Structure 1
Amino acid sequence: MRQKHVLLGISGSISAYKAADIANELTKRGYAVDVLMTQSSTKFITPLTLQSLTKRMVHTDVMQERIPESINHIELAKAADLFLMAPATANVIGKLANGIADDIVTTVAIALKSEVPKLIAPAMNTYMYQNPIVEKNLATLKNIGYKEIKPREALLACGDFGRGALATVEEIIKQAEAALATKE
């Protein structure tokens, strides 16, 4: 049986450091994990950390073609059994909902086959999460096949208390494995 392939997208949220635990746990469970990072996410966690945990190259630049015979973002999308965006900022949610493909994360996401399960785990300030624009963008994503892993209510990094904290690593892994199981 072929190893399942997970694309883990990381955007620039303070909770990006939790992506290391997500990548590590998925790798330990036998999945091939390719990490896709926005430039802002690299300010919170380094690609080297994620490369060390997954034992795979981390992708940070849509224009970096490591193998001249192939187009990186297309090959990554073709290999995917699951696309998991964790954490997902309001910015990346808006880009995905509106078809903006201007970095490695959004470009690969746009190139995914429609049958690939897509999970998105928002992480942001409560007021951002409750903003009608973000709510509309999440509804758009749901309408095109994305499943939201709801954020938790907690004390946020900014000091506010409310819904917006990244779901627990355990919940994200549980939903990722459920999505992978449905693809079999």
Structure 2
Amino acid sequence: MILKDKKILLGVSSSVAIYKSLELVRLLKKEGAEVTVVMTKNATKLISPLLFSAVSLRPTFFRMFAQEKNYLHLELVKDVSLFIIAPATANLISKIACGIADDLLTTAVLSCSCPIVIAPAMNVNMWQKRIVQRNIERLKADGFYIIEPEEGELGCGEIGKGRMAEPEKIISFVKTLVLEKKNFKLVITGGRTEREIDQIRVITNRASGLLSVLLA
């Protein structure tokens, strides 16, 4: 399992797509990942942090100072393999793009050195706004990974691009990303080989080893 024993931090903001985040946590756990959830304050008004804790089997964090941990934003990102933000509202995207750190989630983003994957979710008109698109391009240029929203019926009833990517798609993207970041060690052998027929005779070939040199 590609995500087995991987420590993943999941950031959740106040979009109606937040219900998909619960399924995302479940799928990540199913893949063997250790998932910790950090929420924006407004996100806690849509879904109780206790529900995320029940699914992740870990504490859910949302207060910068009220919880009994010093430097919580640093502890959350320590040894984390991947930081996923899903859903990411237009407001949260704008904050991250501008380097604003005014709550636990955005401060954790600035403190994080691992790859960060963002799955936007918003109304089609908001998604198409030039300022939002500029912020998306800025994030891409800064090394963030963006899983673009899908087209379809939105939470407001309108039709267009803005639906958060399905949890299964996010899982697939994350798996590919983790594989790309792995350092594989390969041993390449070259030259002729021999296979014994008996104590005297062997089968061999005239390989020069050039192909192995080219591959290396």
Q: Check whether TM > 0.5.
A: yes
Residue 44 of structure 1 corresponds to 46
- The DSSP-based 3-state class of the residue aligned with 1:121 is strand
Match of 1:80 in 2: 80
Give the whole-Å Cα distance in 1 for the aligned partners of 2:140 and 2:83.
Answer: 14
**Paired AA for residue 164 in structure 2:** L
* 2:168 paired with 1:170: yes
Match of 1:182 in 2: 180
Q: Which of 27, 37, 43 is 1:35 aligned to?
A: 37
Give, as a single letter, the amino acid of the residue that structure 2 aligns with 1:66.
E
**3-state secondary structure, aligned to 2:11:** strand
Q: Return closer, same or farther for 1:183/1:75 CA change in 2, 3 Å cut-off.
A: farther
CA distance in 2, matches of 1:3, 1:168: 23
1:169 positional shift: 1.1
What is the CA distance between 1:73 and its match in structure 2? 0.8
Aligned-residue offset at 1:24: 1.0
Return the alpha-carbon distance in structure 1 between the equivalents of residues 35 and 109 of structure 2: 15
1:51 partner SS: helix
The CA distance in 2 between the partners of 1:65 and 1:178, in whole Å, is 35
Calculate the aligned-residue CA RMSD, in Å: 1.3
**4+ runs deviating over 3 angstroms:** none
**SS at the partner of 2:66?**
coil
2-structure distance, mates of 1:118, 1:182: 14
TM-score by length of 1: 0.93
Q: Which has the larger radius of gyration?
A: 2
Tell whether 2:11 aligns with 1:13: no
Residue 180 (structure 1) shift: 2.3
Q: Which structure is higher in helix share? A: 1
**DSSP 3-state at the match of 1:34:** strand
Q: Deviations over 1:64-119 (max 9, x none)?
A: 3434xx42110112221101010000000000000100111101000011xx1111
What is the SS of the residue equivalent to 2:136?
A: helix
Q: Which has the higher contact order (CA 8 A, sep 6+)?
A: 1
2: CA distance between counterparts of 1:98 and 1:136?
Answer: 11
State the distance in 2 between where 1:66 and 1:52 align. Answer: 20
Name the residue aligned to 1:138: 136
Query: For the residues of structure 2 that align with 1:30 and 1:71, how far apart are their CA atoms?
Result: 27
The question of 1:3 aligning with 2:5 is answered yes
Q: Which residue of 2 aligns with 1:66?
A: 68
Q: Which moved more, 1:41-50 or 1:164-173?
A: 41-50
* Whole-angstrom CA distance in 2 between matches of 1:124 and 1:85: 14
Give the whole-Å Cα distance in 1 for the aligned partners of 2:79 and 2:56: 16
C-alpha distance in 1 between matches for 2:68 and 2:57: 16
Q: Mark the runs of 5 or more structure 1 residues left unpaired by the alignment.
A: none
For residues 134-181 of structure 1, what are the alpha-carbon distances to aligned partners after superposition, in whole Å with 9 as ceiling and x for unaligned? 001111110111111011101111121000001111101111222222
Identity %: 40
Equivalenced residue count is 179
